[in-house]
Structure 1
């Protein structure tokens, strides 16, 4: 009997490459509608010329450099100084690395459904309306596993996320929109933010400003110590739709700072240090020209083109991925679960684990 147990364990280890990932926690982060062109090429000077009417006259001074490598590092210093050297980035199509959505909508709810469930659902998920998602997300799946109950949380700027995640059914804690955070154990910083969120003018209406989303979530993470955390930022998409390129860049740059601050904390805390993986991606792309970059959707060429970044103890430090390769948005969900040693099954061939991001996975 003992011999068969040993054989079984060895077979399992061979099948999965390693008996157990080092990752025990995952943070998923999304930047709504942020293009791969700026992620890999930095600011575009032709778009800046359209921004002369804005009050931010220093956008070119802030973000422009003579070559793409310097421009992208100026816009995203944490991403390129840390993930670019210690993790992996996919989606620079000029180098052959491609990432695409597989849903046929190319806008937010279908994109987030695909990210979180591992497959598109064009029949039922085809609008941004506040309809509860019948599909099971990876957040709901993880929340029901032993050791993860009530250790999964989402902090989002867009107030449709409770419906996408189906918080009523899933039991996942979701904090969203331009509303105060509730709870009996709020610290002084959270209480102050509750005062500010209703006092500061918000040009985005019901969409929460990303700084509130991050710092509400950051305080929650330090206090509640979730094992899976989802941050969904929104300002990049809002400002892009408004044609405000400077604000679009500023929002992306601020998000990079949030991620850097988060990573520094994760490497200082006993629960998270050396045991946490970041996955960063977007729900959809945008048009590729000065006329179409503000928009997305199935009628906008190339709005299905996205990008993906991964950083953590199980991810080989390959940096910017080069060479012909094709990944899909639908691979995020199963990959997230695999980092935790879980198998989030689905029947989507394009939703398999990203093997190059998870060391030892076939």
Structure 2
């Protein structure tokens, strides 16, 4: 009888330890897409831009066939169906200025490196004022997590743009940053990783040497999540910004539509895997906005482009209140977001300049 009780006690104790371990291992995935306008997220396709011959490249019919509907709600649903179904019903979506939800970058530059630095460090360093800036002297949230015993060696970053090794200061931070045309096999280390590496190496490079197409990076991400099960991941896609700079509104919208699918892929995996399910927080946002007040400036951003400091953000998963689309008046800044995640994870993060 005593032996049976001891076996039962040991079994229950082990279950308790498992539950405690799972609770303590709070996963976080931050997902960004470069320069996706809040106007397109909340209103869907802009007919004025789509009708302009300069931006539809002779095929406005195809754009309207894919993304047009009579109301903003229907258009945004066509453009980003995962956002406006699962996230709207289970998470929260901020930044619809038409309804009073205000989201902005705090940095004064309104372009990429300062925007990513603000997001990942949770503060603004005005010395970070160029996309060619040196390795970031400010410690980032993922670097901090990698110093904690629970997260050590379980942190990773992927970026379509080749600047993330500097933005996240890979050499100092101590976790792998796979960006642009880096060899994924260096961290994946199996036959599928080698295949993905070969595909990236052999593909055409429409954006030059500095940025890879999102689809290649996405499949690297999915392989890594499934194989390595990181506790913390930073992911950044880039097609939306590149196609906008090219003035190709059709491809820009396709990039946004694909990004929505990529987020869906990540969420569906998270919810299907016992280690991640109901134990993962997703933060989804962008680094800057684009022009809107002067419609021709939708292709660009920066200090001289009105309203390109206006952005949006989404949260979904563990600890996130189900608010849906936020319609109340609020003001949030990019520098606030990583602290919201840190609070949910109950960790004490503060960036340090080194």
TM-score (normalised: structure 1): 0.87
Say which structure is richer in helix. 2
Decide whether aligned partners of structure 1 residues 66 and 94 sit closer, same or farther in structure 2, where only a CA change above 3 A counts: same
User: Unmatched 5+ residue regions in structure 1?
Assistant: 1-19, 348-362
- The answer on 1:111 being equivalent to 2:115 is yes
Does the CA contact (< 8 Å) of 1:47 and 1:290 recur in 2? yes
Q: d(CA) in 1 for partners of 2:175 and 2:187? A: 18
Q: d(CA) in 2 for partners of 1:309 and 1:327? A: 12
DSSP-derived class of the 1:334 partner? helix
Decide whether aligned partners of structure 1 residues 250 and 132 sit closer, same or farther in structure 2, where only a CA change above 3 A counts: same
Residue of structure 1 equivalent to 2:135: 132
Q: d(CA) in 1 for partners of 2:229 and 2:25? A: 15
Residues 260-299 of structure 1 mapped to structure 2, 5 A cutoff: 260-288=264-292, 289-299=294-304
**Quick one: which of 189, 200, 205 aligns to 1:202?**
205
Greater Cα offset, 151-160 or 330-339: 330-339
Does the CA contact (< 8 Å) of 1:132 and 1:163 recur in 2? yes
**Quick one: which of 151, 163, 166 aligns to 1:160?**
163
CA RMSD for the aligned pairs? 1.8
Decide whether aligned partners of structure 1 residues 88 and 226 sit closer, same or farther in structure 2, where only a CA change above 3 A counts: same
Decide whether aligned partners of structure 1 residues 328 and 61 sit closer, same or farther in structure 2, where only a CA change above 3 A counts: same
Decide whether aligned partners of structure 1 residues 322 and 160 sit closer, same or farther in structure 2, where only a CA change above 3 A counts: same
Decide whether aligned partners of structure 1 residues 144 and 53 sit closer, same or farther in structure 2, where only a CA change above 3 A counts: same
Decide whether aligned partners of structure 1 residues 154 and 268 sit closer, same or farther in structure 2, where only a CA change above 3 A counts: same
Decide whether aligned partners of structure 1 residues 23 and 304 sit closer, same or farther in structure 2, where only a CA change above 3 A counts: farther
1:221-262 CA deviation, whole Å, 9 max, x = no partner? 111111111110011011111111011000110011111111
1:96-144 CA deviation, whole Å, 9 max, x = no partner? 000011111100000001001111111x200001511000101111111
DSSP-derived class of the 2:343 partner? helix
1:282-317 CA deviation, whole Å, 9 max, x = no partner? 100111142111111011111110000000121111
Residue of structure 2 equivalent to 1:3: none
Residue of structure 2 equivalent to 1:354: none
Following TM superposition, by how much is the alpha carbon of 1:186 offset from its aligned partner in structure 2, in angstroms? Answer: 2.7
Q: d(CA) in 2 for partners of 1:140 and 1:346? A: 10
Residue of structure 2 equivalent to 1:90: 94
Q: d(CA) in 2 for partners of 1:184 and 1:310? A: 28
Which has the larger Rg? 2
Following TM superposition, by how much is the alpha carbon of 1:344 offset from its aligned partner in structure 2, in angstroms? Answer: 1.0
Q: How many residue pairs get matched?
A: 327
Decide whether aligned partners of structure 1 residues 56 and 202 sit closer, same or farther in structure 2, where only a CA change above 3 A counts: farther
Q: d(CA) in 1 for partners of 2:120 and 2:283? A: 12
DSSP-derived class of the 2:185 partner? coil
User: Unmatched 5+ residue regions in structure 2?
Assistant: 1-21
Residue of structure 2 equivalent to 1:342: 347
Decide whether aligned partners of structure 1 residues 133 and 181 sit closer, same or farther in structure 2, where only a CA change above 3 A counts: same
Residue of structure 2 equivalent to 1:36: 38
1:312-339 CA deviation, whole Å, 9 max, x = no partner? 1211111000121100100122122222
Residue of structure 2 equivalent to 1:321: 326
Does the CA contact (< 8 Å) of 1:113 and 1:120 recur in 2? yes
Does the CA contact (< 8 Å) of 2:34 and 2:240 recur in 1? yes
DSSP-derived class of the 1:339 partner? helix
1:122-170 CA deviation, whole Å, 9 max, x = no partner? 1x20000151100010111111112000111101000000001001001
